[in-house]
Amino acid sequence: MSLSSLTLDSSTFSSARCPFKFQRRHLSRRSFFVCSAKPVVSSPSKLSVADSSRFDGLSRIDSLSQVSGVLGCQWGDEGKGKLVDILAKHFDIVARCQGGANAGHTIYNAEGKKFALHLVPSGILNEDTLCVIGNGVVVHLPGLFKEIDELESNGVPCKGRILISDRAHLLFDFHQVVDGLREAELAKSFIGTTKRGIGPCYSSKVIRNGIRVGDLRHMDIFPHKLDLLLSDLASRFKDFNYGPDMLKEEVEKYKRYAERLEPFIIDTVHFMNEAITEKKKILVEGGQATMLDIDFGTYPFVTSSSPSAGGICTGLGIAPRVVGDLIGVVKAYTTRVGSGPFPTEILGQRGDLLRFAGQEFGTTTGRPRRCGWLDIVALRYCSQINGFSSLNLTKLDVLSDLDEIQLGVSYKHVDGTPIKSFPSDLRLLEQLKVEYEVLPGWKSDISSIRNYSDLPKAAREYVERIEELTGVPIQYIGVGPGRDALIFK
């Protein structure tokens, strides 16, 4: 599919990175990563160049911090699940810290079978890995059990491998109903949610009438708590129909769920901190991404949790001092779903071509994603917030058919005044002018390449220009959906 018609104006820009303070003690590790990306071989090796590169990459993975994380750098859908799946066999625990079933992670097993996960952490395909759903996650039990049943029917064991925080909040079917009612109220200014009930569930949590997983152990008072929650929603939304039959039905349903869920429930705060004391290696899997963060994203067109670095501590109950290497996952271009400003968006047929080339349709909803050029200003902003030690650049292969590629390198007001950072003002975001830098395309298939030096020169120049503009090394490059379609740089 030809995408060569995608062209815009260009200019140049460069910027230094400002690292996040709690990551400073890892600067020596970052330096090691950069130096080890191109090992010096003093004598002939029995390994091929590609094998040597992958061996070096695996050595780098083994040297990741005891507690490491994988977080999104854009508006989600960057391919975090694939990297977590690849890294998981080098960690004892993979933990989710926020979000809910609105986070769709697509991964493939060794035989190439596709799995779409929403609540279960992406480490589940590695049988020696324990998966934790932390207190910051909102849990929809019908969806979770369906996911577990599908995994087990496909030969993936889950028994004894999934632990769920007793502090995590329960997301009910009626939260999903309320999500739709809320969006209908907003009319033309709707958020564009997945309608999975995430926002309403977090709202229940914040106004302190939510119900937690641990409450299922006390079914004597569960009906009273559920009645308070339902009554509150009925008073808020006139089209929310609530009566005694609904309460009775929900109570009976959750009595059955409680029995099945009991073996999974644990105090994950205690468990995680004990694991840290015992020197277990922990990988944190973020859902959504920093540009959807409730504080730092394009508010109000955001999710209802903290997908940035701070959410790791609050969503798992672990101290900031134990968090080490954070890997930011970013597409070679930019996508987002739902409403809200998108400075580098490509509209019309050109955006459609990129969408179909990258198969940009939501894992959770199937919605078509909005597509645009890679936004360096947003990426640098995310890097400052999270303190990334490295980046995983995904879907580089999707750009292979382009004559030229563009990077959104700076923002300006309509009057030409430079904008120094990613603004919080949505009106400004919708009106600003993006300055682009044009780089040559490579017009060749790179999906079978596994060694960085074998990439076309133009592809390497694109990768290295992103590193230069952000100040963060790119150490993993995705060139396809499969487990093996990864280049270690």
Report, as residue numbers or ranges, the catalytic residues: 77, 105
Centre a 10 Å sphere on the Cβ of residue 62 and count the other Cβ atoms it contains.
9
CB 105 within 8 Å of CB 120: no
361 near 447, Cβ under 8 Å?
no
The residues, ordered by sequence, that sit 6+ positions from 66 with a Cβ below 8 Å of its Cβ are: 276, 279, 280, 281, 282, 322, 324
The Cβ of residue 90 has, within 10 Å, a number of other Cβ atoms equal to 16
Q: Is 36 exposed, middle or buried (0-12, 13-18, 19+ CB in 10 A)?
A: middle
Cα separation, 274 vs 285, in Å, equals 19
* Residue 327: strand, helix, or coil: strand
Q: Which of 301, 393, 405 is nearest to 350 (CA)?
A: 405
Integer angstrom CA distances of residue 73 from 303, 308, 455 = 14, 9, 24
CA distance 239 to 469: 51
Burial class (CB in 10 A: 0-12, 13-18, 19+), 425: exposed
8 A C-beta contact, residue 143 and residue 108: no
What is the rounded distance in angstroms from the CA atom of residue 71 to the CA atom of residue 341?
Answer: 21
Within 10 angstroms of residue 482's Cβ, the number of other Cβ atoms is 15
| 420 class by beta-carbon count within 10 Å (0-12 exposed, 13-18 middle, 19+ buried) | exposed
Q: Kindly report the backbone phi and psi dihedral angles of residue 389, in degrees, each rounded to the nearest multiple of 5, phi listed first.
A: -85, -25
Q: Whose CA is closest to 121, among 107, 142, 141?
A: 107
Would you list the DSSP string of 154-183? TT---TTTEEEETTSEEPPHHHHHHHHHHH
Round to whole Å and give the CA distance between 291 and 375: 11
